[in-house]
Amino acid sequence: MRKTKAVVLHKNGDADQMVWEEINLPDPGYGQVLLKHEFVGFNMIDVYHRSGIYPTPSKPCFLGTEASGVIEQVGPGVKNLNIGDRVAYAGSSSGLGSYSYSRLMNADDLIIIPDWMRSEVAAAILTKGRTVEYLFNRTYKLQKGDRLLFNAAAGGVGQIAGQWAAFIGATAIGIVGNMDKEKFARNSGYKHVFNMQDHDIVKEVMAITEGTGVDVVYDSIGKTTWDISLSVVKKLGLVVSFGSASGNPPLYDVAKDGVKNSAYIHRATMVNYMTSPEIGKKSAESVFEMIKNGSINLNLNMDYHLDDIVTVHQDAEARKTIGQIVMKV
């Protein structure tokens, strides 16, 4: 038995509902390891869990889905993992809990970090990188010549998506929240970038696509961008909702909205694409290869420590952040 500190949520609400508490960790059970966190990745899904948009099984509960660290203790029945191994995880069967100094993990959830990869990169890439992998490879098989619109192009997922689309040979149109984020998105592979404060997004996109619209829209913002997403997709195109940063999208009115273009609507979630450890690890391998061959370069935002987690949530919700937030533990 040892003590550690973790963020605990007793009720849904604003960021200040997250509190640090001292907890007891037993020795690892069968198939488990004790992991000491080195870096913790921030994802908007953490906000959804905290606010209640995505319900947690019970309260009080832990928070956080992604981190990297070093194995300190190995339980019985664990194979292929040893004390001292550098590992990472995201969205695991071990449940929420990366907002902590140490935790117990199911060994099957862990991915060994390649020797060439820094631990902070591993903590930043699994959720966001694998999100892009399934969006581009499985939700809609993005191909050379396709045209896509990606909301939140300067965010962590957006940064990877622009570069991945450029690698494929697709034309990516990025939408950002303000002018400060335009340059960042342009440097992340987007052919065209528009900020919502200064541009008529629908008009700009329809001009670029000669009035036909894009093949696919990827929308992680939700409420404030949903009408735009439905308006710029081509006839019989696909609108993918995979987040709700501004709130849930409004209800789809089949009679009113469907007449625009008869678009297909899909709600994509990580849990329905990473249905087994094997699938998750295969997806991670695809992401790692993109980083290793130089097709994806990350702009890590390492301005925060894990102790600053309340500020991280507040800044992210205010859309003040750029790049992929990784917190030192």
Residue 163: φ, ψ to 5°: -70, -40
CB 41 within 8 A of CB 325: yes
Do residues 119 and 158 share a domain?
A: no
The predicted pLDDT at position 237 comes to 96
Do residues 110 and 153 share a domain?
A: no
Residue 131: φ, ψ to 5°: -60, -50
215, two tokens:
């093949």
CB 276 within 8 A of CB 106: no
- Residue 229 within a domain: yes
Write the burial class of residue 289 (CB in 10 Å: 0-12 exposed, 13-18 middle, 19+ buried).
Answer: exposed
Supply the range of the domain harboring residue 210: 144-267
Do residues 243 and 313 share a domain?
A: no
- Residue 131 within a domain: no
Whether the model clears a pTM of 0.85, i.e. scores above it, the answer is yes
Do residues 105 and 149 share a domain?
A: no
The enclosing domain of 21 has a CATH number of: 3.90.180.10
Q: If phi over 0 gives left and psi between -120 and 50 gives alpha, with beta otherwise, what is residue 83?
A: beta
Look at residues 267, 290, 318 and tell me which one is the last residue of a structural domain. Answer: 267
- Residue 106 within a domain: yes
- Residue 281 within a domain: no
Do residues 176 and 237 share a domain?
A: yes
- What share of residues in the chain are helix, strand, coil (percent, to 5)? 35, 30, 40
Domain count, the chain: 2
- Residue 279 within a domain: no
Q: What is the pLDDT along the chain (329 residues), one digit of tens a residue?
A: 899 999 999 999 999 999 999 999 999 999 999 999 999 999 988 999 999 988 998 999 999 999 999 999 999 999 999 999 999 999 888 899 999 999 999 999 999 999 999 999 999 999 999 999 999 999 999 999 999 999 999 988 999 999 999 999 999 999 998 888 898 899 999 999 999 888 899 999 999 999 999 999 999 998 889 999 999 999 999 999 998 878 788 777 766 666 678 889 999 998 899 999 899 999 999 999 999 999 999 989 999 999 999 999 999 998 888 878 999 99
Do residues 262 and 305 share a domain?
A: no
Residue of 329, 129, 308 whose CA lies nearest to 321: 308
Residue of 51, 46, 58, 60 whose CA lies nearest to 9: 60
Residue of 262, 210, 218 whose CA lies nearest to 243: 218
- Residue 305 within a domain: yes
Render pLDDT for 164-196 as a digit per residue (tens, 0 to 9).
Answer: 999 999 999 999 988 888 988 999 999 999 998
Do residues 213 and 309 share a domain?
A: no
Render pLDDT for 42-57 as a digit per residue (tens, 0 to 9).
Answer: 998 899 999 998 899 8
